[in-house]
Amino acid sequence: MKAIITVLGEDRVGIIAKVSSLLADEGINILDISQTIMQDVFTMIMLVDISGSTSKISDISEKLDACGKELGVSITIKHEDLFKSMHRI
């Protein structure tokens, strides 16, 4: 099962490290990642495989939210099907 993770906020050292460490601890594999800095705003989108995790997506979301608060960024996770449905024209 795949999911999309987005990270947005003020750029600072350690964002990718913290998020990827949390995902590794949860048994989540990063399949693809794109990140950039847009006028001091850190933006990252990750495609991840959550099938190796024993946690529910809601629990993963709570952990990512807490991580985001610690880092001062917004982190969201959405199941790939939901993400595609939300962005379909």
Cα separation, 64 vs 78, in Å, equals: 12
Q: What pLDDT sits at residue 9?
A: 97
What are the extents of the domains in the chain? 2-86
Q: Does CATH place domain 2-86 in 3.30.70.260?
A: yes
Tens of pLDDT, residue by residue over 39-86, are 889 999 999 999 999 999 999 999 999 999 999 999 999 987 765 666
- Say if residue 87's pLDDT is above 60: no
Its pTM stands at 0.88
Beta bridge partners of 62: none
Q: What pLDDT sits at residue 80?
A: 73
Tens of pLDDT, residue by residue over 16-25, are 999 999 999 9
Cα separation, 89 vs 85, in Å, equals: 9
Contact 52, 3 (CB under 8 A): no
Which of 89, 70, 87 shows the shortest CA–CA distance to 79? 87
